[in-house]
Amino acid sequence: MKHLSGGDAPECDLDEIEFLTPVTSPDKILCIGRNYKNYIATLEGKKPLNHPGMFVRVASSFAAHEQAIEKPDASDQLDFETELAVVIGTQGRNISETDALSHVAGYTVLNEGSIRDWQKRGVQNAPGKNFYHSGSMDPWMVTTDDIPDPSALADWFARIQKRPAVKEAYAFMDPSKQAC
Amino acid sequence: MKLASFKVQGKDSYGIVVDEKKVIDIGVIASNR
């Protein structure tokens, strides 16, 4: 990719293209939530869990850059959250904690849009997390050569979310801060 | 490096934008995924 990016003139201008999500057909989108005790303590009415919350989103639940987010007819409770997305570049199983980052290709940002009342239907989050284009994905994936230490993103996320407690939630490189 | 996926409007072609400046149509590579 670095070879492709050097030397030759662009084949077209940015205004000629239609952005897609950075990974157009992900095999899976796994979402983790409520996994940091101190952060959870700042959330009204929330209690730490013994294990992190986990749910799956389908790719079509995210709009691409410059596409509209859609509020479904079924609800008026479309909400937004800023989330860091870790893009896995190398498949694997039974990966050790020390090798985990070597499987990461890069990072992007999600608007993890949710339909709140549909989250509370039944016992799974999935119904409220998978309405068509209810969330969105940043156009860019920043590769790990530019972000060798993802915990460095913690300050940035805490600043854009205006919630200092978020810093801990993204300092995920420090196992002592993980609840589970 | 910043990468983005795209398609060229009006064409059935996909590619990757590199670093917000250089747009490289690598439709052949993309179609092989």
CATH of the domain at A148: 3.90.850.10
Closest CA to A63 of A113, A100, A105: A113
Is the C-alpha dihedral spanning B10, A63, A93, A127 positive or negative? Answer: negative
Beta bridge partners of A11: none
Mutation pick from A20, A62, A108 vs chain B, by most beta carbons of B within 10 Å, is A20
Residue A176 DSSP SS3: helix
Within 8 A by CB and 6+ apart from B4, the residues are A19, A20, A22, A65, A139, A140, A141, B16, B17
User: Measured between beta carbons, which residues in chain A are less than 8 angstroms from residue B16?
Assistant: 1, 4
**Residue A49 sits in which domain range?**
26-177
Whether A160 shows a pLDDT value over 90: the answer reads no
Q: Please answer yes or no on whether B9 and A17 come within 8 Å at the CB atom.
A: yes
Mutation pick from B6, B14, B20, B28 vs chain A, by most beta carbons of A within 10 Å, is B6
pLDDT per residue as tens digits for the range A4-49: 545 555 566 777 778 889 888 899 999 987 766 666 666 667 666 6
Tally of domains within chain A: 1
Burial category of A115 from C-beta neighbours within 10 Å (exposed 0-12, middle 13-18, buried 19 and up): buried
Residue A45 lies in a domain: yes
Residue A130 lies in a domain: yes
Per the prediction, chain A carries an average pLDDT of 81
Give the containing element (helix H, strand E) for A40: helix A37-41
Residue A124 lies in a domain: yes
Tell me the whole-structure pTM to 2 decimals: 0.80
Residue A131 lies in a domain: yes
What is the Cα–Cα distance from A91 to A46, expressed in whole angstroms? Answer: 34
ipTM above 0.90, yes or no: no
Within 8 A by CB and 6+ apart from A60, the residues are A132, A133
pLDDT per residue as tens digits for the range A48-83: 667 777 899 999 999 999 999 999 999 999 999 888
